[in-house]
Structure 1
Amino acid sequence: MSLCCGLLQSHSDDSSNVAVPLRMLEVFSSEKTYLPVVRDPGAVVWVLEQVLHYMVQHGYYRALSVLIHSKLPPSVDYSDLVRVPIAKTLVENVLKPLHFTYGSCGEGARQRVFAAFAEELLAAPFSEQILQLVVPALADAQAAFPFEPFLDALLSLRGGAPESCVSAPWLFYFVLTVGESHLGALSEEGLLRYLRVLQAFLCRLPLSPGGPGCQDASDSEEESEEADRRPSSPESGRLSAPRVTEECLRKLDSKRQTNALLGLVWRDSAGEEAFTLMASICHALMVRHRMMVPKVRLLYSLAFNARFLRHLWFLISSMTTRMITGSMVPLLQVMSRGSPMSFEDSGRIIPLFYLFSSLFSHSLISIHDNEFFGDLTEVAGPRRPSMMPFSLEELVVLSRCLRDACLGIIKLAYPDTKPEVREGYSLAFQSVGVATSQELQQCVQLQQKRWVQLFKVITNLVKMLKSRDTRRSFCPPDHWLSEQEDIRADKVTQLYVPASRHVWRFRRMGRIGPLQSTLDVGLESPPLSVSEERQLAVLTELPFVVPFEERVKIFQRLIYADKQEVQGDGPFLDGINVTIRRNYIYEDAYDKLSPENEPDLKKRIRVHLLNAHGLDEAGIDGGGIFREFLNELLKSGFNPNQGFFKTTNEGLLYPNPAARMLVGDSFARHYYFLGRMLGKALYENMLVELPFAGFFLSKLLGTSADVDIHHLASLDPEVYRNLLFLKSYEGDVEELGLNFTVVNNDLGEAQVVELKSGGKDIPVSSANRIAYIHLVADYRLNRQIRQHCLAFRQGLANVVSLEWLRMFDQQEIQVLISGAQVPICLEDLKSFTNYSGGYSADHPVIQAFWRVVEGFTDEEKRKLLKFVTSCSRPPLLGFKVGAGGLPWGHPDGGRPLSRGQGPRLPRWDVAVRRAAPGLLLPGEVALTSKERPRLTVGVQGLRPAGVPGAPPRPSPGEGAALTVLTRVASPGSGLIPLLESEETAQGLRRLPCLRL
């Protein structure tokens, strides 16, 4: 028999006569040869096992491989099996040794037979004969290929040997092809073996550099069948290892494969091993082969199975490890502490955690707020089962665990000491074939990379949950704050160094490589300490774990450090000087502060105003005129009447989609300009009352300019409700008469826009309504105003780094822009009010003034504050850090009160306000208890003179107290005569206790 095998291997020429040795092999491996002699079927099996085992050990499959390639043409395929006798004979001879158990040949005999079959016949790369004839023939159910024993043999082979990676794609292709006809007959244990084989092969396949080869539309039957096609001929160059890998991934994504795998994990008897293996397979698909969840049936199906996600989280939270003390501690707790974890433990939890975070994140995209919060009664139609795998109470606990896990991974990323490989760790690696220190170091780096990959998906999930909580709170107050992190503005001084600020702008965790201990960007700056690196990672990835007040302080310190670098300390250093006509504030500012004229708006700006008659408005700009100018400019630019912004039903601002129709193709320049101006207000720590829509702020802060459908409710609640109705509509969707178009009615002109190519001819049906819903939301939220938002964001980033602004969410950034809607603390205001010119907190006028103000309503206090600071809301961090309290002084430089002068009512002088913003002047009015009504009336109309929107001129004697506060000075006082007529002045002089 050995001689016959040798003869067959030597006859590689197709003209050689192999009939004799081939016939001898057939005869001596047939039961018919031995039954007449032995007559005992059991003994016959024993003889055949001995013969076949001997033949396999002496090159049986090598001989068959030679015959297949020499006697069969490359064009042969499975359909020719019946018409070509030698083809049928060869296939039968291939199968014959595989059907025996070889129990009489010693332990491991059957595994050796399968190993020879795999290594000698299925050697890489596949020839056309193997690919088109042998593989399909063995995959036929009638061939009765022993698939489950073959899986056992594969698992017993040396899977970790480097040489096995060479043949992995082709052998994996064979397993997937043959397995399709046997998966339904596998036992639960057999399916577990199948999962183990898939896990082993996926880790040895060549990497997929360009992403998956999966079809984009995996829902059609035609494309599903396409997944089962064989790789094309080698002439087309499609039989390379990467191409076969793509074919394997396509086969793994077939419906039959997916259903078999899902059936295993959806069984009630599915245990931890099944979930762990499935998680490892999915982890390899997503991380190693770059497969996206919506592109793979297996991943997509698991993402929307609430039971699977719940079970997955249960396994993650219940995994334990034995500590050095012998106690069992949850792995999740070890991770949250940032404690080092063994390679075995990390290999258990990382795939599960990665899969859970990825799948849950994907499912949250499709779960609308009403379903997330359980408001299913808001949607018409019968109630459907919720896709939410967790209740709100469970999400509170889950989100806390996710937050702590992220913080723990940051500690693992930036350890206190350089990690060293201990002897026990080295022995563990050597036991799996890693012998050299270089290979060991590569394994450690791979482990670190896996932590970074896990960190990214967990933070993405945490941010999605935080975004939901921001739009509509479901977590208790201070839930997102962490006691683990004590980040304070005065403890991160190194981050204010220019080089560090530059690093912050361009680095996020994992973006430039895993877990680097220093930041090397070619700048002369001392490296950040481990603590500062952790703080930087938290502030860039999880800023919401730090209290809002501390983040505001950090932001203001960053701005201050940057301002010191740009502006310096001198008030009259190089800056920007502009002359603006008050009646044309927006037009002049747009022209003179354009990027071409003033590329750097971080410089100090000095404004010279011209009144309506073209005459100079007296006064030196010490900051007050600029703040007044910027405040009026922003109010003008964001005014809906200007046309660049519109308001939602709630009065919130967002870009006007029809702006192009108003100003032409230059509309983007206006948004860039407005973005710069808003950035300048933030840069100068100036509050402006501009209420922006939440989705617009999210677009500014996000790393992507697009937002999802969940923000549509803040733009158009009616459209949002209609889309939710369409999603749950039980009737015939086509009867609604919808197609893939939207109609815009801008400026009275109707325009039909296709949501996709040929959309007007595509009716909306039950099959495609989800796509329609997301396309409509994407058009309204993103496509329609994409250029507007991009230009605005670029302008904003021209002045203030977006990385700094991303420390805040959409609600917090609104507070940063406009201040918080909180009551004004008069005690804080009193504590930080500056007095001069003979006044103090104990002066009778001052005490009387505060007594009157204490009796104001909150609205009246806001109007007073707006008059002093241009904003009705108090500074974010109080008057100590903000614009200060109410400075008091005299128009003549602070002369003391002369004998006989009565107490003076606080008055406002525009000229002095320009020199020192927020300065109140005492007027010559006796402040008694009777004066409160006049002061109150004055507060109702507080507005600096000359500013658009000032109160109408009062008639003589009527509303005079209002005029005392808003129009002040007399002809000879050395100040600007702000009274608009002598008649009004005469009316003021007739007031009792009033001397001008």
Structure 2
Amino acid sequence: MFSFEGEYRRKPVQSLGGASKHSQRDIFLQRTQLERQKREDLRRQNQSAVIIQAFFRGCRARSLQKHIQRQEFETVQAAHLQNVDLQLLTSLIKHLEFFFDKEKDANKLIWLSQMVIKNSSNIMKQCQTERQFTFTLAQFLSLTLCYICNTIHSSTGESKGSHWRVLEIFLNAEGWSKIVGIQSADMILGSIFFSLSEKGYFTRLRQIIDAKVPPLVEPTTRAPNPLSGCLLDFLIQPIEFACGTLDMSHRNTIVKSFRQEFLEPAYSEPIINFILPCLMQNNYKIPLLCMLENNEVCGRNPWFLHSVLVLADRHPELKHDRVLSVYVATVSRLSGCLQFMHTAEVEEDNDDSDEEDMKTNLFKAAEHDIMTRCCEILNNINTVNVLVSALRIPGVLPDLCIIAHHLLLSDRLALHKCRLLCTLVFKPCYLQQLLVHIKSEKQFSLFGSSDTSLILLLAKGVHLTPSESQRIVPVLDVFCSLFSHLLVTLDDSEFYNESDPVNGAMPLKLSEVVELASTLRDVCLVLVELAYPDTRPSTSFNFIKARTFTGSSEEDTRIWMHLFKSTVNLVSQLHTRDTRRPFCQSGLWVTGRIALPLERNGQVSLRRQGRLQRPFRAIRPLTRNEIEEEGNSMLSTREVRTLAILREIPFVFSFTDRVKMWQQWILNDKMQQQSEANFLRGPSIQVMIRRNYIYEDAFDKLTLENEPNLRWKMRVQLTNAVGLDEAGVDGGGIFREFLSELQQHTTTYKPGINLLHCHIQYNGNGGNSLLTDGFKIAEKLRENDPETYKYLVETKVTWSDIGQENGNHFHKIHHAPVICESDDGTIRRINYSQPQRDSHMVVPIDQVEKWYRALKNFYDLATDARYLIEFKLKPGEMVTFDNLRILHGRTAFGENLKGERHVQGAYLDWDEARSRIRVLKTKLLGN
């Protein structure tokens, strides 16, 4: 009754091998899995074949249908070549949109555009009566614009005048108003612009503008050709309509499409030199609030930030508080790109760089340029006034702090360059609001207890979540930076509120300053712990990592570094004022959270690797050479933290503990470097000195480059005149002789001021005084002739001064190059004297001629009239100049003339001169 005579879809598969007790379970499962995988692959192949066949049938059917409709169109076109009625024109537009191909149907589009132009008035009236025809017209306009965009770079020679005319007629509000009226025109154009925006109207318009607007040298609002003005009208008309329409969906769609295509991407030359200046001139036509709201752009997009700043300048909508608050919030969100200005700088081009690297450098250059323009606009007085005026609106303060924080991160000298920061510094009400906001930021409790202030949690060392850090860090950083900058300008009467406690420049009371100093002191200590992390035993490492992870370690490091710098600067200034004139209770600055390891500080090594201040960062991995050099003296995390605190804020430890630690460090350093128990063991200096050239070899082998640490044990081996070693380790007194010469060298008086007093002067020709600026000549050589400058800096010369004075003979020797540089490369002294220069030079023979040629170039510049001052001293006159910088000389008397002159010289030290100036200033000014 229920029999089935067909075939089953799947038949049971019988295993001919049968069941076996010897087969393993894993092999059976694997075989079953392979069979299941084969069935799944077969199912996917069948499904893919069905999809491919369906796609092919669809493409073939559409191609056949397009061919049929193209033939019908050609038949109608041949029958109605000169005139077409409106109903047939509507049908032709729909058919052409279906089968249009730019290679085959370009002439059909031209003919249809001409027919549409002839019936333009009827089409407009038809749009007024039939709403559906409006969308048909919008599709035809989109097709026309798409064809222009696709063929814009082709050189077929076809005329596109009819296409441009169609767009010009049906996108012009005045033409619609004359035929259908203003109200109907607004409704119809709204539908057209809305439909065009959804179909990529602004995308194609951007491509046409980039291709058709000619190159411009500078920004201008005048169209370089008629087509550029027409394209500008095509751009402004939809935006102007969006500004006046009440349909929010149409307005948001049009403005969003315009923003995504013209304001957010990188600028092209026509955009920045023509479109943007024209939009800035007509910014009242742009709906600013709609442009700022509902945008997902954030982070590193300086182009949209620049567009917002440019288009919002003097915009009438900024008079409303809601628009102003949205504007400040948008600028604060977009200004985060300014902190990346240092990473957007262009790298130097190499010859081996490929095309991709060149494009990357060009993009970075454009990005850096637009960031610089954003900073200039933010530094504009109109923008600053708008941002400052937003302080009256509740809730704007955090956004304004974020803007100031990003400006601080963009440049180390932002406080001195940015008008906005300088304006906020001298607004006491702003600093008061900042402090109140810092105290009001709290961590919400999940257990119903009272909320805790974030600044107190940070001071206690509690790890904050990323959202909590974003709420407190920018505000605290800005407050510390601005308040520390303000303290420099306050005298004691203003700081202690003695002059005008109500309207004074001091924004805080002394009680608030004391509370703030205690909190910021603990914050500094916590920031040191963040820089040199160490897991607490009571806190899970995974919990800390989950709470503090933000995904951008480098950016967070820069933010915390800047916060530490600004906080330390403010705390140091407050401590300096309290030291000079106390206003805090005793013991406020000394902390009990961190104690100096006095019991084991002898293990701390103080080898001087450099005299510059180390940056605030975590412990970096040591290299193999550093590990071998340091040995067992590598520092622990606790010791590194202690050294960082002693370097930045040493006053948090008591003076007694600091002195004890310093004394033990010195003792430990002496034991490590000079301990007698380690004689002939450990690091040492071994030199061989020739007896006849004892000072030459000593100065050559004991230089900073050869032996950077002279505190190690030194073994000296002397050789006699024939090259044999002399007995004895001390070498016959090299230390006594060398140290004696060194003491004379270090205490040699080097006057900085030269005074020449003229007693007698010959009135005839000659005898003029000559002065030239040696530093200026050296800088000129460094810029124009680096090779000459190199020889004059690196080649040492022996300068000898032999003579007698007041019956005492003297013989002075000085070894130095012509141009002396400091460690940082600045020029500190010029040595040049023809009589005192020795003729013997300790340089290779092939460099002697080059050095004399360099000296000749130096002499030519020194005697050049551009750098030379020539005058003649009169009896009783005195000339004073910098002896280390100015070169002085005197001309000879005229031929066959014997003149008499008496000039007496004297020297003066700069310390004596400056001391005398301070004493006179105190006597004259009384303070």
Q: TM-score scaled to structure 1, two decimals?
A: 0.49
In structure 2, C-alpha distance between the alignment counterparts of 1:361 and 1:78, rounded to whole Å: 41
Contact 2:256 2:291 in 1 (8 A): no
Q: Which has the larger radius of gyration?
A: 2
Q: Does 1:408 align with 2:541?
A: no
In structure 1, C-alpha distance between the alignment counterparts of 2:388 and 2:568, rounded to whole Å: 27
Residues 103, 6 of structure 1: alpha-carbon distance in 2 compared, 3 angstrom cutoff: same
Deviation at 1:196, TM superposition (A): 2.3
In structure 1, C-alpha distance between the alignment counterparts of 2:913 and 2:415, rounded to whole Å: 24
Deviations 1:40-93 (Å, cap 9, x if unpaired)?
82x543332221111122232233234434443223877563785433332222
Tell me the equivalent position of 1:868.
none
Q: Does 1:568 align with 2:686?
A: no
Of 502, 507, 517, which aligns to 2:607?
502
Contact 1:357 1:461 in 2 (8 A): yes
Tell me the equivalent position of 1:29.
171
Deviations 1:180-230 (Å, cap 9, x if unpaired)?
2317744222222222222232223582229999xxxxxxxxxxxxxxxxx
SS in structure 1 of the partner of residue 443 of structure 2: strand
In structure 2, C-alpha distance between the alignment counterparts of 1:178 and 1:465, rounded to whole Å: 43
Of 286, 309, 333, which aligns to 1:200?
333
Moved more, 27-36 or 304-313: 27-36
SS in structure 2 of the partner of residue 194 of structure 1: helix
In structure 2, C-alpha distance between the alignment counterparts of 1:470 and 1:783, rounded to whole Å: 31
Deviations 1:571-592 (Å, cap 9, x if unpaired)?
9999xxxxxxxxxxxxxxxxxx
Deviations 1:215-254 (Å, cap 9, x if unpaired)?
xxxxxxxxxxxxxxxxxxxx99997221222122112211
Residues 560, 173 of structure 1: alpha-carbon distance in 2 compared, 3 angstrom cutoff: same
Of 397, 418, 424, which aligns to 1:296?
418
Tell me the equivalent position of 2:564.
455
Deviation at 1:518, TM superposition (A): 8.9
Tell me the equivalent position of 1:147.
288
Residues 449, 392 of structure 1: alpha-carbon distance in 2 compared, 3 angstrom cutoff: same
Tell me the equivalent position of 2:894.
none
Deviations 1:385-411 (Å, cap 9, x if unpaired)?
642222333322221121121122233
Q: Does 1:472 align with 2:577?
A: no
Deviations 1:481-500 (Å, cap 9, x if unpaired)?
1232333522xx1x4325x3
SS in structure 1 of the partner of residue 552 of structure 2: helix
Tell me the equivalent position of 1:320.
442
Which residues in structure 2 correspond to 1:589-738 (within 5 Å)?
A: none
In structure 2, C-alpha distance between the alignment counterparts of 1:413 and 1:325, rounded to whole Å: 32
Q: Does 1:366 align with 2:473?
A: no
Q: Does 1:279 align with 2:404?
A: no
Deviation at 1:34, TM superposition (A): 5.3
Deviations 1:646-685 (Å, cap 9, x if unpaired)?
xxxxxxxxxx9989999xxxxxxxxxxxxxxxxxxxxxxx
Residues 599, 279 of structure 1: alpha-carbon distance in 2 compared, 3 angstrom cutoff: closer
Deviations 1:520-554 (Å, cap 9, x if unpaired)?
95322365444334333322222211111111111
Which residues in structure 2 correspond to 1:11-50 (within 5 Å)?
A: 11-13=151-153, 17-31=159-173, 41=183, 44-50=185-191
Of 194, 199, 206, which aligns to 1:53?
194
Moved more, 92-101 or 246-255: 92-101
Tell me the equivalent position of 2:50.
none
Tell me the equivalent position of 2:513.
395
Contact 1:392 1:474 in 2 (8 A): yes
Residues 751, 467 of structure 1: alpha-carbon distance in 2 compared, 3 angstrom cutoff: farther
Which residues in structure 2 correspond to 1:310-389 (within 5 Å)?
A: 310-326=432-448, 327-374=450-497, 386-389=504-507
Q: Does 1:159 align with 2:278?
A: no
Contact 1:517 1:530 in 2 (8 A): no
Tell me the equivalent position of 2:593.
484
Of 233, 238, 252, which aligns to 1:97?
238
In structure 1, C-alpha distance between the alignment counterparts of 2:623 and 2:471, rounded to whole Å: 31
In structure 2, C-alpha distance between the alignment counterparts of 1:475 and 1:128, rounded to whole Å: 60
In structure 1, C-alpha distance between the alignment counterparts of 2:241 and 2:268, rounded to whole Å: 27
Which residues in structure 2 correspond to 1:805-844 (within 5 Å)?
A: none
In structure 2, C-alpha distance between the alignment counterparts of 1:424 and 1:550, rounded to whole Å: 33
Amino acid at match of 2:161: A
Of 121, 127, 140, which aligns to 2:268?
127
Residues 572, 24 of structure 1: alpha-carbon distance in 2 compared, 3 angstrom cutoff: closer
Contact 2:520 2:571 in 1 (8 A): yes
- How many residue pairs were aligned? 568
Of 142, 164, 180, which aligns to 1:2?
142
SS in structure 2 of the partner of residue 203 of structure 1: helix
Contact 2:176 2:182 in 1 (8 A): no
Deviations 1:841-884 (Å, cap 9, x if unpaired)?
xxxxxxxxxxxxxxxxxxxxxxxxxxxxxxxxxxxxxxxxxxxx
Amino acid at match of 1:255: I
Of 173, 177, 180, which aligns to 2:306?
173
Tell me the equivalent position of 2:902.
none
Amino acid at match of 1:465: L
Amino acid at match of 1:27: I
Which residues in structure 2 correspond to 1:583-594 (within 5 Å)?
A: none
Contact 2:213 2:228 in 1 (8 A): yes
Contact 1:184 1:260 in 2 (8 A): no
Deviation at 1:345, TM superposition (A): 0.6
In structure 1, C-alpha distance between the alignment counterparts of 2:188 and 2:571, rounded to whole Å: 65
Tell me the equivalent position of 1:305.
427
Amino acid at match of 2:159: N
Tell me the equivalent position of 1:676.
none
Residues 572, 320 of structure 1: alpha-carbon distance in 2 compared, 3 angstrom cutoff: closer
Residues 311, 252 of structure 1: alpha-carbon distance in 2 compared, 3 angstrom cutoff: same
Q: Does 1:243 align with 2:369?
A: yes
Contact 1:169 1:248 in 2 (8 A): yes
Deviation at 1:322, TM superposition (A): 1.5
Tell me the equivalent position of 1:72.
213
Amino acid at match of 1:175: V
Residues 23, 181 of structure 1: alpha-carbon distance in 2 compared, 3 angstrom cutoff: farther
Residues 19, 148 of structure 1: alpha-carbon distance in 2 compared, 3 angstrom cutoff: farther
Contact 2:514 2:584 in 1 (8 A): yes
Amino acid at match of 1:241: E
Amino acid at match of 2:470: G
Contact 1:320 1:328 in 2 (8 A): yes
Contact 2:284 2:316 in 1 (8 A): no
Two-structure CA RMSD over aligned residues (Å): 5.2
Amino acid at match of 1:363: L
Contact 1:5 1:55 in 2 (8 A): no
SS in structure 1 of the partner of residue 340 of structure 2: coil
Of 648, 651, 663, which aligns to 1:541?
648
Deviation at 1:331, TM superposition (A): 0.5
Contact 2:591 2:653 in 1 (8 A): yes
Q: TM-score scaled to structure 2, two decimals?
A: 0.53
Residues 423, 119 of structure 1: alpha-carbon distance in 2 compared, 3 angstrom cutoff: farther
Contact 2:288 2:317 in 1 (8 A): no
Tell me the equivalent position of 1:846.
none
Residues 201, 290 of structure 1: alpha-carbon distance in 2 compared, 3 angstrom cutoff: farther
